[in-house]
Structure 1
Amino acid sequence: MYQYDDYDRALVRERVAQFRDQIARRLSGELSEEEFLPLRLQNGLYLQKHAYMLRVAIPYGTLSARQLRTLAGIAKDYDRDYGHFTTRQNIQFNWIELEQVGDILDRLAEVEMHAIQTSGNCVRNITTEAFAGVAADELLDPRPLAEILRQWSTVNPEFLYLPRKFKIALCAAQEDRAAVMMHDIGLYLYRDPAGELLLRVMVGGGLGRTPILSQQIRAGLPWQHLLSYVEAVLRVYNRHGRRDNKYKARIKILVKALGIDAFAREVEAEWQHIKDGPAELTEAEYQRVAAAFDAPAYASLDEADLDYGSALARDAAFARWASRNVRPHKVAGYASVVLSSKPGASSPPGDVTSTQMHAIADLADDYGFGEIRIAHEQNVVLPDVRKADLHALYRHALSHGLGTANIGLLTDIIACPGGDYCALANAKSIPIAQSIQQRFADLDALHDLGELSLNISGCMNACGHHHIGNIGILGVDKNGSEWYQVTIGGSQGKASALGKVIGPAFSAAQIPEVIDGLVKTYRDYREADERFVDTVQRIGLEPFKQQVYRQAQVPA
């Protein structure tokens, strides 16, 4: 893991002191809420329905057991004993008092954490996949480049007041597990036939009220030009992006208005002025950062472990869990484990209690190398577990409500906090997720359905990424009542697609029946080994639409 140097420590400490002063001035009335708004947002502080919400950065989703224990302490001492993991690999605390924020930030700084630029019109948390550095299909660990981007973008004065928020994601594996194509800038790493590391640059992705997938503007970019090319994109956006209408301020709108070719020409022209400047990366700088991500002291193990094989044979529940929650590792004898934050109707998706956080930290120490990852899907990953320890780990995870065998299945729901907390939401997300989880609680039936993603957003801001769910649910306001629009056919990855609306919206009470109708249609039409999203692509929306509206007794 990356360790702070003196520059990092000084920056974070000074930012905490600065924000403490700003909070004191707000509490005294010296700063109005309007004046305080941009200051608090760039320190990750939102004012929501019931309290302030603090969003804490987890850069590229990686944190240590010690850091997670600190987050557990914050949840217990300052919140209501839980935190919410987000699709941006961060954590949110929903019940924060303004007077407490300075003390919380001090505690975070003690373990090399902060909330800087987790909100506001700036470059947000740099993300990559939760299996970075250990994935069996990985070209190289993308986290050193993500860390270089983090250092470069943090409190960079040129890009602190962009037209709108800005998100960057990297992928260095054959499979895109970072949803790269829905980001403002997406970066795919690859090697040419000579072995040179290159970048394919995508721009203009984003969801919200105008969902658009990113488009390629550059291939074959040498990795040394990562910062200068990203800077060129940001400069063009900063110069031409709209500031008169926040709904048209994202880079995706600018790219669409100019056209991808014209936008690419603008970026290339800007890049020519800066590409050989101080932002050009050197091998020495890369190695300085990459040294922090050296592989841990793996043991020399056989790929086939007899104890693991025996446990699979004698414990059917463990075998089912392993089939969904265990991922291949690039080192023989090891695996990565996904701990589900979605046990069912008893807990909102992404919510983890302080007790569970302590349990996860213990599992990371006892069965790994003290490292933890937060996944885009709001689950928790232990990246380095010996196969021989998987059965024992499973039993411990199960005892803490973290061992549900549903990763990638229908009840592994991605959901924003919705109208229960968020002042922007049109409708609640959590009760909808819980009603679906209750309806589809049978694990045997879930495993028979196979891979199927379901995403829920409480409003058009799309924090639950409903557009790229195989099934997407969007909360909408209908004459002051909460209704839900349903899309199908969305997907993430290198074959990303945006879901299509099946028809008029449904009431909250109808949603479980709607999902049941979608599932029934899939069962009726699927071919051998065909996933839900593949069936939708093959037969189209109409069979699903007919079944759903007939079953829900709603006119189509």
Structure 2
Amino acid sequence: MAPRIDIESVKKRKDGLAVIRDIERYAASPDLPQDPEDIALYRWYGIYQQRPKDGYHMLRIKVPNGQLNGNQLRAIGGIANDFGRGLADITTRQNFQYHWIELRHVPEILSRLAGVGISTVGACGDITRNVVGCPVAGIDADEFIDGSILAHELANYYSGNPHFSNLPRKYKISVCGCRLHCAQPDINDVGLYGAEFELDGKLQRGYGLMVGGGLSTKPLFAVDMNTFLLPHEVFEVVKAVTEIFRDSEILRADRSKARLKFLLSDPKIGVGGDRFRAMIEERIGHPLRHATPFRRPLDTETDHLGIHPQKQPGLYYVGVGVTVGRLSGDDLIRLADIADEFSTQSSIRNTNKQNFIISHIPEEKLSQLRGALKAAGFDDMPSVFKRSVVSCTGIEFCNLAITETKELGRRVADELEERFPEASKQLRIHFSGCPNNCGQNAIGDVGLRGGLTKVNGEMVQAFDILLGGTTGENRAFAETVSKKIPATFITDAIANLYRTYLGWCSNGETFNAFVKAHTAEQLDAVVREGMPPKE
């Protein structure tokens, strides 16, 4: 077993950003032994060793606000084909991930990405991650404010910034100007959301602020700072939050509690929202404007799929479902060609539900676009199951995973679609292959958390089933109702739940309302209907 790396000690000896020189050195000399401490810092450039650590790597690229153009997407697809066995996955932070990457190819990959304005700096590691945002920012006719401007400003400032390259743990920023809070401020370290506030007798548009959200094995919701920020006021406040996080010694004492959420809400070390607000004020040198908490949207877990008119007259955006976010390099190249042909800005936008949107489509081209998408194998009218299945990488590539997720997620979506061909009521299904919540199972209508169980004396892949998660006005983390359901029965389990929900629903109630109306024991019985008894 490889020795455990004390990453805090490593970071004191070498800034994570400096490891690029070592990456280049190892790439040029593939037989040169790699220092385990350098390997630990590869993450600062989006690189993880791929399971089973036999020379291949995952490489994650950053896509601020999920926004791309055709040239960028074509380059991403070409790299997938040339170096990653044709695979590219959309992530829950609007990025792309490659697999099967050899270190010797990384310098060329980084060069090709840089040539189209894409970076991997900070895609992983104890640093500011990809800044996420609303995928229809700037084109949504009903948005409070175009959050993409701020998202890109923050991304540009923090990416590769040596003043913030040694944080206690990962650091995630969300900027969302739409009325849905679709960029999930509740579960980000810093969540900025669009809001209106009266100043000097005039209604102004800007941002509310949440701090300290995150999932993993101990999910905690962000705390609202009860303030309203005009766009020009945001930068100094976010910088203050980042400095507080960076300078916190108590967070560095225990890596299992090193996320910002613990400084806000941990029973032992958490300071609470009021004190944290005061800490921000001490940093910026003046009080924050007080605002009564803004009302959160009821349904925040959407990604704007469908065909919708933009605020720009005569233009539309079209959402396309990608079950579990998995695409091929050829898919991406075809999509780039479609964007070039039909979008006036050759614009593609990834969503945090692992789907994508093509924007700036002239109305007269909508029919042709839909035909081109269908011919290329894309679905602009996905079923409620295929559009809403989210999945982590799973055991196929991840060293922490216990179960396979991607193919199972696809199969479950296909089978549910066959069983409920006319389904129209939303059901968000989130797969995580281990307890770390990378597939966001804690906020799914149905969350699947990977593990193992014994069947006929043999250990098999299985999932705990969690129900009732959501963000927004009624935010709640999904709670476990059934444990260790074998993977082979997951479709049956979800079908049992959905069928029972449809029979119960009489007035448009949501699946989460159905969950709240039943006890965990009742729901477990529904899950297990028709299954063999537990061993």
TM-score by length of 1: 0.82
Deviations 1:464-494 (A, max 9, x none): 1111111111102457642201111112345
CA distance in 1, matches of 2:178, 2:250: 32
Give the Cα separation in 2 of the matches to 1:26 and 1:199: 49
Show the counterpart of 2:26: 23
Structure 1 residue 430 and structure 2 residue 406: aligned? Answer: yes
Q: Quick one: distance in 2 between partners of 1:63 and 1:324?
A: 17
Q: Secondary structure at the match of 2:483?
A: coil
Stretch of structure 1 that moved more, 48-57 or 229-238: 229-238
Q: Distance in 2 between matches of 1:410 and 1:536?
A: 21
Deviation at 1:275?
Answer: 4.8
Query: Which of 105, 119, 127 lines up with 2:110 in the alignment?
Result: 105
Report the Cα distance in structure 2 between the residues aligned to 1:254 and 1:41, rounded to whole angstroms. Answer: 24
Q: How does 1:399-438 map to 2 (within 5 A)?
A: 399-403=375-379, 405-406=381-382, 408-409=384-385, 412-438=388-414
Q: Report whether the alignment pairs 1:254 with 2:248.
A: no
User: Helix, strand or coil: the match of 2:462?
Assistant: strand
CA contact (8 A) 1:410 1:454 kept: no
Q: Distance in 2 between matches of 1:490 and 1:236?
A: 30
Q: Which residue of 1 aligns with 2:177?
A: 172
Letter in 2 for 1:45: I
| Higher mean C-alpha displacement, 263-272 vs 14-23 | 14-23
The aligned runs of 1:528-543 (5 Å cut-off) are 528-543=507-522
Q: Which residue of 2 aligns with 1:395?
A: 371
Structure-2 change in CA distance of 1:215 and 1:519 (3 Å): same
RMSD: 2.6
Is contact 2:468-2:477 (8 Å) kept?
A: yes
C-alpha deviation, 1:505, in angstroms: 1.8
Identical pairs, percent: 27
Displacement of 1:407: 5.6
Gaps of 5+ in 2: 1-16, 287-303
2:480 pairs with 1:501: yes
Residue 379 of structure 1: aligned partner: 355
Q: Is 1:330 paired with 2:311?
A: yes
**Which residue in 1 is equivalent to 2:186?**
181
Q: Within 1, Cα distance between the matches of 2:19 and 2:336?
A: 26
Tell me if structure 2 keeps the 8 A contact 1:373–1:381: yes
1:68-103 per-position Cα deviation (integer Å, ceiling 9, x unaligned): 010111011111112111011110110101100000
SS in 1 for 2:127: coil
Q: Which residue, 342, 345, 351 being the options, matches 1:367?
A: 342
Judged with a 3 Å threshold, the aligned counterparts in structure 2 of structure 1 residues 269 and 514 are, in CA distance, closer, same or farther, namely: closer
Secondary structure of the residue that 1:442 maps to in structure 2? helix
Extract unaligned runs of 5+ from structure 1: 1-13, 277-322, 343-348
- C-alpha distance in structure 2 between counterparts of 1:270 and 1:532, whole Å: 39
One-letter identity of the residue aligned with 2:374: L
Relative to 1, partners in 2 of residues 1:497 and 1:326: Cα closer, same or farther, differing over 3 Å?
A: farther
**Could you tell me whether the CA contact under 8 Å between 1:26 and 1:32 is conserved in 2?**
no
User: Do the aligned partners of residues 387 and 534 (structure 1) sit closer, same or farther apart at CA in structure 2, a change above 3 Å counting?
Assistant: farther
Check the 8 A contact 1:185/1:205 in 2, yes or no: yes
Matches within 5 A, 1:53-64: 53-64=58-69
The answer on 1:463 being equivalent to 2:442 is no
Match of 1:87 among 79, 88, 92: 92
**Quick one: which of 211, 217, 234 aligns to 1:203?**
211
Of the three residues 32, 37, 48, the one matched with 1:34 is: 37
8 Å CA contact retained: 2:169, 2:259: yes
Structure 2 residue identity aligned to 1:43: Y
The aligned counterpart of 2:530 is 551
Q: Please show how residues 210-221 of structure 1 align to structure 2 within 5 Å.
A: 210-221=218-229
- Whichever residue aligns with residue 115 of structure 1, its letter is T
Counterpart among 274, 278, 286 of residue 268 in structure 1: 278
Shift of 1:171: 1.3
For residues 29 and 84 of structure 1, what CA distance do their matches in structure 2 show? 30
Cα drift, residue 455 of structure 1? 0.8
Q: Deviations over 1:291-321 (max 9, x none)?
A: xxxxxxxxxxxxxxxxxxxxxxxxxxxxxxx
1:93 corresponds to which letter in structure 2? Y
For 1:267 and 1:25, how far apart are their aligned partners in 2? 49
| Shift in CA distance, 263/525, structure 1 to aligned 2, threshold 3 Å | closer
What code does the residue aligned with 2:478 have?
G
- Cα distance in 1 between the residues matched to 2:22 and 2:347: 30
Conserved 8 A contact 2:319-2:380? no
- Give the letter aligned to residue 274 of structure 1: I
Aligned residues: 489
5 Å matches for 1:449-460? 449-460=424-435
Determine which structure has the larger helix proportion and give its number: 1
Letter matched to residue 443 of structure 2? I
Aligned to 2:10: none
Deviation at 1:121, TM superposition (A): 0.6
Q: Give 1:352 deviation, angstroms.
A: 1.2
The answer to whether the aligner puts 1:487 opposite 2:496 as a matched pair is no
Q: Secondary structure at the match of 2:166?
A: coil
Between 1:433-442 and 1:127-136, the stretch displaced more is 433-442
Distance change >3 Å, CA 525–CA 541, structure 1 → 2: farther
Give the TM-score taking structure 2 as reference length.
0.85
Per-residue CA deviation, residues 140-184 of structure 1 (Å, 9 max, x unaligned), is: 211111111112212222321111101010111111111221111
1:505 is paired with a residue whose SS is strand
d(CA) in 2 for partners of 1:35, 1:237: 24
